[in-house]
């Protein structure tokens, strides 16, 4: 719930701490933000643009795909890495913050919070449609609409752990929000991810140098601390394939009629490779 993370939140206009007041959050300068009835709060600056956020249709597709358990091995690997990072830091269960930048529906953050009893989770995303679901994904999640490319509405050094799963990465802000010694867990696709669908359906492909480029961009702010690959085979029916196309960036570029024509040429079900890296970085 939002109450679990209110003490970590800051005003997007003046960066002062926020405090609850009736159905709003307010800062000492008088800026006020209404709490949505769906359980999230928008801390976007007035000139922010939300056009890059996932649409209601994309969010619904993602929720369906994840609920079917197709990416459960990724969630399990992330939760295991989170528990290990906390254990190495010697923090125990604690009551610190886990911030998920680009949290979407909150699916992965919920899995991590289950592995870290007592911790609160901040689901950060620019899509209000996603955060309506994230606010209900776990009792210890607070959902906040914000722009990943602007200063995040969180206090300096307030997070023990940050997550970034198939999402934008703002190195300077991740460093600022992490406490010294804190950990970022980053999940990114490899060049083999969904390869059987990329060629057959004309989907966006993953650059083979993606992980190197991520390391280069984060290098000035964080130190790599290890990574592992998670790769497994999915068996997807035609409905699942439509869903996986509709939930990701290819949804912006795929013509529905062309997709149906291409689907007719695939086996049903079709075996598809899921392949990601779970990388760890430290401040």
Distance, in Å, from the CA atom of 39 to the CA atom of 220, rounded to the nearest integer, reads 36
Helices 238-246 and 256-263: angle between axes, nearest 10 degrees: 150
Distance, in Å, from the CA atom of 122 to the CA atom of 142, rounded to the nearest integer, reads 5
Check residue 93 and give its pLDDT: 47
User: pLDDT per residue over 198-228, tens digit each?
Assistant: 888 877 777 777 888 998 899 999 999 999 9
Distance, in Å, from the CA atom of 188 to the CA atom of 186, rounded to the nearest integer, reads 6
Distance, in Å, from the CA atom of 102 to the CA atom of 214, rounded to the nearest integer, reads 16
- The CATH-assigned architecture of domain 46-282 is 3-Layer(aba) Sandwich (3.40)
pLDDT at 92 over 60: no
For 191-208, b/e burial (b = at least 16 CB within 10 A) is ebbbbbbbeebbbeebee
Listed in sequence order, the residues at least 6 apart from 170 whose beta carbon sits closer than 8 Å to its beta carbon are 101, 148, 149, 152
Average pLDDT, rounded, for the chain: 90
Split at pLDDT 50, 70, 90, the class of 52 is low
For the chain, which residues make up each domain, given as ranges?
Answer: 46-282
User: pLDDT per residue over 133-145, tens digit each?
Assistant: 999 999 999 999 9
Q: How many helices (H) and strands (E) does the chain have?
A: 9, 11
3-state secondary structure of 260: helix
């Amino acid at each position: 719930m939002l109450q679990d993370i209110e003490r970590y939140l800051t005003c997007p206009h003046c960066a002062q701490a926020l405090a609850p007041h009736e159905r709003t959050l307010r800062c000492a300068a008088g800026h006020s933000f209404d709490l949505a009835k769906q359980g999230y709060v928008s801390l976007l600056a007035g000139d922010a643009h939300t056009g890059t956020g996932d649409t209601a249709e994309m969010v619904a597709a993602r929720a369906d795909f994840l609920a079917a358990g197709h990416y459960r091995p990724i969630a399990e690997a992330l939760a295991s890495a989170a528990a290990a990072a906390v254990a190495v830091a010697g923090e125990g269960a604690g009551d610190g913050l886990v911030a998920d930048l680009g949290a979407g529906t909150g699916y992965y953050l919920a899995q991590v919070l289950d592995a870290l009893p007592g911790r609160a989770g901040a689901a950060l995303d620019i899509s209000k449609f996603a955060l309506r679901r994230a606010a209900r994904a776990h009792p210890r999640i607070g959902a906040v609409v914000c722009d990943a490319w602007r200063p995040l509405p969180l206090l300096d050094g307030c997070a023990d752990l940050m997550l970034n799963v198939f999402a934008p990465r703002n190195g300077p802000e991740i460093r600022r929000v992490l406490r010294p010694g804190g950990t970022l867990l980053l999940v990114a696709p490899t060049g083999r991810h969904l390869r059987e669908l990329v060629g057959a359906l004309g989907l966006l492909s993953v650059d083979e140098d993606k992980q190197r480029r991520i390391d280069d961009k984060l290098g000035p702010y964080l130190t790599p601390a290890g990574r592992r690959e998670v790769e497994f085979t999915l068996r997807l029916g035609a409905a699942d394939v439509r869903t996986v196309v509709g939930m990701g960036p290819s949804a912006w570029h795929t013509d529905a009629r062309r997709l149906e024509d291409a689907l007719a040429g695939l086996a049903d079900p079709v075996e598809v490779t899921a392949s990601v890296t779970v990388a760890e970085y430290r401040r």
